[in-house]
């Protein structure tokens, strides 16, 4: 991290401490982050720091996005769905036409618009090519029919990038990305806010599309059938972001646990004084440091445009699995307090499990890595 990174991290953290931390419990109860918070975060320059200045961004590199996530984690939150919103910004940056960028990017950067990315469907998640949501050309429009499941920001999103089949017989080449503007899409409906294990304040929904007509100009990029390639090109950094969040969460969990075991007493001594506690925390610290070294390395590669899909997959499965292991060990050191929701560790435990599934499951990550090992040049 450079001096600039540290300054940005500190100002992001101060913002989250003042504007996010006090509301975490209320948003968990409500099942959704208050809409106005998005605008405040936009005003503080936290939505799309890597977007061009002409659209309200800071023109920084993608490592500044990672800092937003790290600061959010440090302030004790994993619920605010900034990450999905940020993915859409990067799709627009990479594939959007000039007019698409002009139309949507300023609102997304200011927080006036909230975004979601809708890939998963009731019948398919990992096997993205098997999606059924259909976008059929009709004159100058597309007509979308289908449904999506487990969509982050599903209740709040104004702009939804929907992964559709424009040519059902075309396999991966039949997939396209269409931007649906929720307010201008009769036939689009949101299902209920799904109840889930952890991340109580993050709205996750099913979305329905029935004869939803969107203008042809809402096709992301100018060419039909590029959706699968577009998704695959972005997934490595999206996965690295999940690794960064797992890594930052691990750090918080270890710090919280250290504070707890140093003040909690049993058998006339601090819990910290038991050899078991010391060894467990030593293992956690080592696991965290080893993870951070690899994730940092991947971040440098990403900024230099050299991160490979298999490195990102390694970072994702390793960091998320290690985080799950560390959080479990740390909860154990809390005793009964670890199960009480007034302690951060209990929330970390509940909120951490999703990481091994979302953004590509652990098994799919290993499949990507193994495929690269099974090819002649070491790459899939």
Compute the least distance from the CB of residue 42 to ligand FAD, in Å: 20
Range in contact with ligand FAD (rule: CB under 6 A) among 90-98, 121-129, 236-244, 258-266: 121-129
Q: Would you tell me how many other CB atoms lie within 10 Å of the CB of residue 330?
A: 26
Q: How far apart are CA 231 and CA 118, in angstroms?
A: 11
The smaller minimum CB distance to ligand FAD, of residues 113 and 118, is found at 118
Sign of torsion over alpha carbons 333, 334, 340, 342: negative
Window 184 to 243, contacts with ligand FAD (CB under 6 A): 196, 199, 204
The smaller minimum CB distance to ligand FAD, of residues 86 and 257, is found at 86
Parallel/antiparallel/unpaired status of strands 159-165 and 115-118: parallel
Q: Which of 33, 326, 346, 358 is in the footprint of ligand FAD by CB under 6 A? A: 358
Give residues with Cβ within 8 angstroms of 44, minimum separation 6.
Answer: 11, 12, 15, 19
Compute the least distance from the CB of residue 363 to ligand FAD, in Å: 3
> Is residue 114 a contact residue for ligand FAD (CB under 6 A)?
no
With CB under 6 A as the rule, give the number of residues binding ligand FAD.
24
Range in contact with ligand FAD (rule: CB under 6 A) among 17-25, 122-130, 170-178, 226-234: 122-130
The smaller minimum CB distance to ligand FAD, of residues 103 and 124, is found at 124
Among 238, 251, 310, 311, the active-site one is: 238
> Is residue 126 a contact residue for ligand FAD (CB under 6 A)?
yes
> Is residue 117 a contact residue for ligand FAD (CB under 6 A)?
yes
Residue the block writes with tokens 């899409």: 185
> Is residue 120 a contact residue for ligand FAD (CB under 6 A)?
yes
Q: Are 245 and 355 in contact (CB under 8 A)?
A: yes
> Is residue 125 a contact residue for ligand FAD (CB under 6 A)?
yes
The smaller minimum CB distance to ligand FAD, of residues 119 and 312, is found at 119
> Is residue 84 a contact residue for ligand FAD (CB under 6 A)?
yes
> Is residue 118 a contact residue for ligand FAD (CB under 6 A)?
yes
Range in contact with ligand FAD (rule: CB under 6 A) among 2-10, 222-230, 296-304, 360-368: 360-368
- Minimal CB distance residue for ligand FAD: 125
Range in contact with ligand FAD (rule: CB under 6 A) among 20-28, 259-267, 296-304, 358-366: 358-366
Q: How far apart are CA 101 and CA 106, in angstroms?
A: 8
Compute the least distance from the CB of residue 238 to ligand FAD, in Å: 10
Compute the least distance from the CB of residue 310 to ligand FAD, in Å: 15
Q: Which of 86, 152, 176, 277 is in the footprint of ligand FAD by CB under 6 A? A: 152
The smaller minimum CB distance to ligand FAD, of residues 89 and 281, is found at 89
Compute the least distance from the CB of residue 240 to ligand FAD, in Å: 16
Whether 283 is catalytic is no
The smaller minimum CB distance to ligand FAD, of residues 70 and 364, is found at 364
> Is residue 364 a contact residue for ligand FAD (CB under 6 A)?
yes
Residues in contact with ligand FAD by CB under 6 A are 84, 116-120, 124-126, 150-152, 196, 199, 204, 354, 357-361, 363-364, 367
Q: What residues act catalytically?
A: 238
């Amino acid at each position: 991290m450079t001096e600039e990174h540290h300054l940005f991290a500190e100002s992001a953290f101060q913002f989250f401490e003042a504007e996010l931390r006090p509301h975490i419990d209320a948003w968990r109860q409500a099942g959704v982050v208050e809409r106005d918070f998005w605008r405040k975060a936009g005003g503080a320059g936290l939505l799309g720091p890597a977007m061009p200045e002409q659209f309200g961004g800071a023109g920084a590199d993608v490592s500044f996005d990672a800092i937003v996530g790290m600061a959010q984690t440090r302030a004790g939150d994993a619920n605010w769905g900034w990450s999905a919103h940020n993915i859409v910004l990067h799709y627009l940056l990479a594939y959007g036409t000039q007019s698409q960028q002009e139309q949507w990017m300023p609102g997304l950067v200011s927080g006036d618009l909230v975004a979601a990315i809708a890939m998963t469907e009731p019948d398919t998640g990992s096997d993205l090519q098997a999606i059924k949501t259909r976008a059929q050309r009709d004159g100058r429009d597309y007509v979308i029919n289908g449904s999506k499941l487990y969509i982050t920001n599903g209740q709040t999103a104004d702009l939804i990038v929907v992964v559709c089949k424009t040519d059902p017989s075309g396999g991966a080449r039949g997939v396209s990305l269409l931007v649906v503007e929720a307010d201008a899409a009769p036939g689009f409906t949101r299902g209920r806010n799904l109840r889930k294990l952890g991340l109580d304040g993050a709205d996750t929904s099913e979305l329905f599309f029935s004869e939803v007509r969107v203008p042809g100009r809402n096709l992301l990029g100018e060419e039909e059938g590029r959706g699968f390639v577009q998704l695959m090109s972005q997934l490595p950094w999206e996965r690295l972001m999940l690794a960064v969040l797992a890594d930052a969460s691990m750090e918080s969990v270890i710090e919280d646990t250290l504070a707890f075991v140093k003040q909690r007493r049993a058998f006339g001594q601090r819990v910290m004084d038991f050899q078991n506690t010391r060894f467990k925390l030593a293992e956690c610290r080592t696991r965290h440091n080893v993870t951070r070294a690899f994730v940092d390395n991947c971040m440098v590669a990403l900024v230099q445009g050299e991160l490979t899909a298999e490195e990102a997959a390694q970072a994702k499965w390793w960091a998320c699995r290690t985080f799950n292991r560390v959080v479990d060990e740390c909860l154990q050191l809390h005793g009964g307090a670890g199960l009480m929701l007034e302690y951060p560790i209990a929330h970390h435990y509940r909120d951490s499990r999703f990481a091994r599934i979302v953004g590509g499951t652990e098994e799919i990550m290993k499949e990507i890595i193994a495929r690269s090992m099974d090819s002649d040049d070491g790459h899939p």
